[in-house]
């Protein structure tokens, strides 16, 4: 990204308290992203936009724009707006099932994006090849066999994300994925995500071989985040056990698990599944119509929660680390606290 834009948020890099041991452990990650702190901001739709992304990058981490369902025109505007707020590297997260994926990749290329992160499925060889023409490519891998296939297809780095994460999740925990994949993948940097809320956990994953970590939930209550005050307050009040995955009531109607804070909307979703199943059994709905009604239940619910503050019926996507979110504070404070915790943990282990 351009280096002509002055620093506008975050700490001057000279003031970051990154210990030599921490710098050494995540050197592969910091070199890959071109930043002094190998912490990626998780791409959260409606949340990971210009303000939060630039704040994370300005604080020394690596912000990532959540493209979500944006059109190419909207993504172009968002990248340009982010460039106006930071001179430091940041990435763009693209959903592989987006109908205009190749056009979105073109937008990233026109704006000289240095890193493209593919999420929401396994990207095609064509998508990876197209993005690699101008950027480094990062892909999510839910299993070792998929990680190896993505690397063969050209992925420059891998993110493994456990079921403790917020939003759409897989079935395997972060700790198990880390044990399965980190010892086996050496060709490219591997970043760990899901349920990470403190620096001690970051240090542990780095010692296991991770090049860095990705964190989303921890940044939702950043001062720079545009989320509605009611949305932030829901996070501050919540505990880990409040962030639960959606439950599928009938195997005939699959539900993709989404981890979010339980609210009235969650209860109504369960009621909707039950009602639809009964209507299908009674012949009032065919299977396709019933499935669509279930899938469309949450349409627009995340925006209603994040932007409009509907915390009763909106979708409050949150990882289990939400219990470690205690207050609203600047991104720079969050990152400095994580650095202090990670450094203290490493010093303690060295002393022992």
Rounded Cα distance, 352 and 348, in Å: 6
**pLDDT (0 to 100) of residue 16:** 67
Integer Cα distance of 159 and 194 in angstroms: 10
CA–CA dist 269, 313 (Å, integer) = 10
For residue 110, being part of any structural domain is answered with: yes
DSSP-assigned letter for residue 249: S
Q: Is residue 233 part of a domain?
A: no
Residues 6+ apart with CB under 8 A from 130: 102, 105, 106
Distance CA 10, CA 56 (A): 8
Kindly state whether residue 4 falls inside one of the protein's structural domains: no
Instruction: State whether 109 and 34 are in the same domain.
Output: yes
Residue 351's pLDDT is 77
Residue 6 has what pLDDT?
37
Domain annotation covers residue 234: no
Tell me: do 212 and 63 sit in the same domain: yes
346 and 275 part of one domain: no
12-67 tens-digit pLDDT: 554 567 888 999 999 999 999 999 999 999 999 999 999 999 999 999 999 999 99
For residues 142 and 163, membership in a common domain is answered with yes
Q: Are residues 332 and 212 in the same domain?
A: yes
- Evaluate if residue 94 carries a pLDDT over 70: yes
Q: What is the mean pLDDT of the chain?
A: 94
The rounded distance, in Å, linking the Cα atoms of 30 and 177 is 22
Check whether residue 220 and residue 274 sit in a common domain. no
Span 117-125, mean pLDDT? 96
Structural domain boundaries, residue 91: 13-226+326-351
**312 and 336 inside one domain:** no
Strand locations in the chain (E): 39-41, 63-66, 90-95, 115-119, 136-140, 157-161, 167-168, 190-193, 212-215, 243-245, 258-261
The two tokens of residue 203 are 């240090």
Q: Do the domain assignments include residue 62? A: yes
**Interval 182-219: pLDDT, tens:** 999 999 999 999 999 999 999 999 999 999 999 999 99
Q: How many domains does the chain have?
A: 2
246 and 175 within one domain: no
Report whether pLDDT(10) > 60: no
Same-domain status, 62 and 135: yes
What CATH number does residue 65 fall under?
Answer: 3.20.20.70
Task: State the average pLDDT over residues 259-280.
Answer: 95
Residue 252 maps to a domain = yes
Indicate if 296 and 335 belong to the same structural domain.
Answer: no
* 288: pLDDT strictly greater than 80: yes
Pair 160, 67 in one domain: yes
The per-residue pLDDT for range 156-171, each reduced to its tens digit, is 999 999 999 999 999 9
Rounded mean pLDDT of 250-272?
Answer: 93
Is the pTM above the cut of 0.85? yes
Do residues 156 and 129 make contact, with C-beta atoms less than 8 angstroms apart?
A: no
pLDDT of residue 348: 87
Residue 6 domain flag:
no
Burial of 221 (0-12, 13-18, 19+ CB in 10 A): buried
Give the 3-state secondary structure of residue 63: strand
One domain for residues 259 and 159: no
In a domain, 255, yes or no: yes
Distance between alpha carbon 160 and the CA centroid of its chain, in Å? 11
pLDDT at 18: 83
Band the pLDDT of 295: cuts 50, 70, 90: confident
Confidence label for 220 from pLDDT (cuts 50, 70 and 90): very high
Task: Say whether pLDDT at 122 is over 70.
Answer: yes
- Return the exposure string of 332-347: e unless at least 16 CB atoms fall within 10 Å of the residue's CB, then b: bebbbebbebbbebbe
| Phi (first) and psi of residue 259, to 5 degrees | -85, 125
Q: What is the pLDDT of residue 1?
A: 41
Residue 14: its pLDDT value, please? 45
Enter the DSSP assignment of 103.
H
């Amino acid at each position: 990204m351009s280096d002509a834009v002055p620093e506008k948020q975050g700490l001057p890099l000279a003031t970051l308290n990154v210990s030599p041991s921490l710098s050494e452990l995540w050197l592969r990650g910091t070199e890959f992203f071109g930043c002094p702190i190998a912490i990626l901001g998780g791409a959260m739709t409606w949340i990971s936009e210009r303000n939060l992304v630039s704040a994370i990058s300005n604080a020394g981490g690596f912000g990532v724009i959540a493209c979500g369902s944006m059109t190419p025109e909207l993504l172009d505007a968002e990248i340009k707006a982010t460039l106006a707020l930071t001179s430091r590297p940041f990435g763009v997260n693209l959903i592989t099932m987006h109908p205009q994926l190749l056009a979105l990749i073109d937008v990233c290329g026109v704006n000289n994006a240095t890193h493209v992160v593919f999420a929401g499925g396994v990207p095609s060889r064509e998508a990876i090849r197209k993005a690699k023409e101008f950027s480094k490519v990062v892909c999510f891998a839910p299993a070792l066999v998929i990680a190896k296939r993505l690397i063969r297809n050209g992925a420059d780095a891998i993110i493994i994300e456990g079921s403790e994460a917020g939003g759409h999740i897989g079935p395997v925990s972060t700790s198990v994925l880390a044990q399965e994949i980190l010892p086996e993948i050496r060709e490219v940097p591997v970043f760990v995500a899901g349920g990470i809320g403190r620096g001690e956990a970051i240090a542990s994953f780095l010692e296991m071989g991770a090049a860095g970590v990705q964190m989303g939930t921890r940044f939702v209550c950043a001062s720079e985040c545009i989320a509605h005050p009611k949305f932030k307050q829901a996070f501050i009040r919540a505990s880990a056990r409040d962030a639960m995955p959606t439950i599928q009531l009938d195997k005939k109607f699959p539900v993709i698990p989404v981890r979010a804070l339980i609210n009235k909307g969650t209860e109504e979703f369960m009621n909707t599944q039950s009602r639809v199943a009964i209507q299908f059994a009674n012949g009032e709905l065919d299977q396709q119509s019933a499935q669509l009604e279930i899938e469309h239940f949450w349409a627009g619910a995340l925006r209603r929660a994040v932007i409009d503050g509907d915390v009763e019926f909106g979708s409050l996507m949150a990882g289990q680390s939400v219990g470690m979110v205690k207050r609203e504070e600047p991104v720079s404070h969050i990152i400095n606290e994580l650095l202090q915790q990670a450094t203290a943990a490493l010093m303690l282990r060295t002393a022992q």
